[in-house]
Each structure stands twice: as C-alpha cells, then as structure tokens.
C-alpha cells in the first residue's frame, strides 16, 4: 500500500482526517518525517500494551482506515439527482419524473403559487414520501441516507434565495477564511482572493476584503454566497429561488456554477434564465406537469432577448449614475 511509504507529515497535510487516526492513539505526527512503516518499528512495547493491540493489528487498523477513506472518496461524486413523481394538490399522480446532472441548468416554471418552491423544498429535505407531495429524491439512483449527506460534511445541498443577510461581526476576508479552513481547503488564502474577485464581478458593486459582512448590500451578499458556494462550499447541488431579483449578474453567476460542475435547479419567471437553461420542468397545480428541453429556436431567441436585456441594464446604470437623456432621447 502506497500510504505506508509516504512521510506522515505529508499524509496529514494532504488529508487532515489522518490526524484523527493518529490522535486517537495519542500520536502527534504533524512534523513527522518517518513513514508509517518506519514508525511502527520504533514504537515502544508500552505503546502497544497501552492501546491493547499488537504491531500487526496496528498496521491492519491503519490499512482499514486508508481503505475507508478511499472508498468514501469514490462515493462522493454525484452523477445524478432524480425526483420521482408524487402527487399534485388534488392528489393526482404527477405526469413525470425529474432528472438532474452536474454542469446542467434546469429551471422550474409555472404561475405564482403553482408549487415551484415546494419542489425546491422537497429536494432540500431529500424527500422520501414524507412531504405533502409524496415525492422521492434519489442521489446516484439511490435514496440518500445519512451517510451520503455526511460525505459532504452534512451539506449536500446549498440554497440561494433573494433574502440573504449576515449577522456575523467579522469582515469578508475573515468570514471566507473561516469557511475555507473549516472545509480543509488547500491554499485557502488564494481561494478566498478568488471568491472576493468573483463576487465583485457578479455584483457590480465593489467591496473590499476588509468590509464587514453586515455592511454588504443584498446584491453583494448574494454575489458573495454564490461565489462561496462555487469555490469553497462542498455542496454539489445548488437550489436557486428567483435569482432575477437578486441584484447580481445572472448569466455570470450561472456560468460560474456550471463551470464548477454543480447541479443547478432554479425557480424563475425570467424568460432569459428559462431559455439559458438546458431544460425546464413545468409546474401545474402543485405537480410536475412536463419536461421541456430548450430548442435551437429558443436558443436563437435567447440571443435576441439578451441584446435587449443588455441595453436595459446599460440604461439602468446610466440613470443610476445621475445622467440624463438629450432632446433626441439619446443616452449622453
């Protein structure tokens, strides 16, 4: 086993969980140059007696621990999320299931009050016929148990809503550094700098690393959370509720999440976001009514709408800056 011949300090640096193994035997290997094999040869007889094990049993325990880590790592890839049909508001069976994949955007569309948020909630709670809709949520084709959730530090799903406010008494950089270190992110300083850069790009309202998080505007807060979810957060599934009113650059935000290979599901009324998605699930009377894949004609129409939207955004920024129109109704 390769792990037996790697300096212990390198093992712990690459995966902090190794520290837990050695700490359980009262061993501090943070600066240990020796390999595990070399360590077993110099450990005293009293060490084995105190722990009630033999040298060979210690090796076996370590090998089993490494195998467990390897097995866990192989299970952490989320290749699909499925929502199996339940019932609508009248108790009728839903017309379809919903299949989601990493790197793909899916929109939830339907009138206000139709049940879009209920679908998001079912996924967030990993429903197992225990919600009003009786839906089931599968991860990689199986019901998600507690072990699956724990693989992501208890955070399998991240949700971004319009209402996001901070109450912590710390600046942006300290907040992000705390999160990055809690996730054992390698080179956290570099990642934090990237998150702040991306958040400023998404919001258009610049803020400094030293800005207190409680001073951020709504748009800045949501931009920061989107960048954080993309770069630091381990949750592979991202649920978004009406990002069109969130005060962020919508297209850049979604492009970022797709680049990070997140499963993205978004409830929206915005035609630009609907056509930007790979597909949409139509909600009717509280149930999933049908799935529509975005057509080539819709993608062409999206380009036309995007041009109009860019002009509208430019006009908004123009007037926000205190400018006026000339007599020919031109922006000056």
pLDDT tens digits along 201-248: 988 788 999 999 989 888 888 899 999 999 998 789 999 987 766 568
**Contact yes or no for 160/241 (Cβ under 8 A):** yes
Range name among 132-136, 162-166, 280-284 with the lowest pLDDT average:
162-166
Residue 265 sits at φ, ψ, to 5 deg, of: -125, 130
Greatest CA span in the chain, whole angstroms? 93
- Which of 119 and 73 is assigned the larger pLDDT? 119
Average pLDDT over residues 94-113: 95
Share of the chain above pLDDT 90, in %: 43
User: What are the DSSP calls for 92-145, one per residue?
Assistant: PBPS--EEE-TT-EEEEE-STTSSHHHHHHHHHTT-BS-STT--EEEETTEE--
Most confident of the following: 66-70, 92-96, 184-188: 92-96
pLDDT number for residue 68 = 65
Q: How far apart (Å, rounded) are the C-alpha atoms in residues 12 and 70?
A: 15
Mapped onto helix, strand or coil, the DSSP state of residue 279 is: strand
pLDDT number for residue 72 = 47
Structure tokens at 309: 């939207």
Full-model pTM: 0.72
Angle made by CA atoms 201, 205, 210, in degrees to the nearest 5: 90
Statement: residue 192 has pLDDT above 60: yes
Kindly indicate the confidence band of residue 153, based on its pLDDT and cuts at 50, 70 and 90.
low
In this structure, is the dihedral angle defined by the CA atoms of residues 283, 285, 286 and 288, taken in order, positive or negative? negative
In this structure, is the dihedral angle defined by the CA atoms of residues 189, 179, 229 and 167, taken in order, positive or negative? negative
What is the CATH code for 81-294? 3.40.50.300
Q: Where are the domains of the chain?
A: 2-75, 81-294
Pairing relationship of beta strands 81-84 and 98-100 according to DSSP bridges: antiparallel
Kindly indicate the confidence band of residue 329, based on its pLDDT and cuts at 50, 70 and 90.
low
Q: How far apart (Å, rounded) are the C-alpha atoms in residues 50 and 25?
A: 9
Structure tokens at 97: 């299931």
pLDDT number for residue 211 = 94
pLDDT digits (tens, 9 = 90+) for 37-56: 888 888 888 888 888 888 88
Average pLDDT over residues 182-196: 86
Statement: residue 74 has pLDDT above 50: no
- Which of 283 and 145 is assigned the larger pLDDT? 283
> What number of other Cβ atoms are within 10 A of residue 73's Cβ?
11
- Which of 97 and 69 is assigned the larger pLDDT? 97
Residue 227 sits at φ, ψ, to 5 deg, of: -65, -40
Q: What is the CA radius of gyration of the chain?
A: 25
Average pLDDT over residues 122-147: 90
Sheet strand arrangement including 279-284: 157-160, 237-241, 263-267, 105-109, 279-284, 287-293
**Contact yes or no for 106/280 (Cβ under 8 A):** yes
pLDDT digits (tens, 9 = 90+) for 266-318: 999 999 999 999 999 999 999 999 999 999 999 999 999 988 888 888 888 88
Average pLDDT over residues 93-113: 95
pLDDT number for residue 87 = 97
Average pLDDT taken over every residue of the chain = 86
């Amino acid at each position: 086993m390769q792990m037996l011949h790697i300096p212990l300090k390198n093992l712990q640096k690459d995966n902090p969980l190794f520290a837990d193994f050695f700490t359980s035997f009262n061993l501090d290997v943070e600066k240990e140059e020796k390999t595990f094999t070399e360590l077993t040869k110099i450990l005293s007889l009293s060490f084995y007696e105190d722990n009630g094990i033999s040298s060979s049993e210690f090796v076996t325990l370590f090998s089993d621990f490494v195998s467990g880590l390897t097995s866990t790592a192989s299970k952490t890839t989320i290749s699909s999320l499925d929502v199996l049909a339940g019932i609508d508001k009248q108790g009728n069976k839903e017309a379809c299931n919903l299949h989601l994949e990493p790197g793909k955007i899916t929109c939830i569309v339907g009138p206000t009050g139709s049940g879009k948020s209920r679908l998001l909630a079912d996924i967030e709670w990993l429903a197992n016929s225990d919600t009003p809709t009786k839906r089931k949520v599968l991860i990689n084709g199986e019901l998600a148990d507690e072990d699956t959730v724990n693989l992501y530090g208890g955070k399998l799903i991240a949700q971004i809503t319009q209402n996001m406010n901070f109450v912590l008494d710390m600046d942006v950089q300290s907040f992000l550094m705390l999160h990055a270190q809690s996730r054992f992110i390698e080179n956290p300083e570099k990642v934090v700098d990237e998150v702040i850069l991306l958040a400023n790009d998404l919001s258009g309202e610049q803020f400094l690393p030293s800005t207190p998080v409680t001073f951020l505007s709504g748009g800045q807060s949501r931009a920061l959370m989107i960048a954080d979810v993309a770069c630091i957060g381990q949750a592979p599934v991202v649920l978004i509720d009406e990002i069109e009113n969130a005060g962020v650059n919508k297209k850049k935000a979604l492009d970022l999440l797709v680049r990070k290979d997140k499963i993205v599901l978004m409830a929206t009324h915005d035609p630009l976001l609907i056509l930007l998605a790979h597909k949409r699930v139509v909600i009717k009377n509280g149930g999933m009514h049908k799935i529509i894949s975005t057509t080539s004609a819709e993608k062409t129409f999206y380009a036309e709408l995007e041009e109009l939207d860019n002009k509208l955004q430019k006009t908004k920024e123009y007037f926000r800056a205190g400018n006026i129109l000339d007599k020919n109704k031109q922006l000056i």
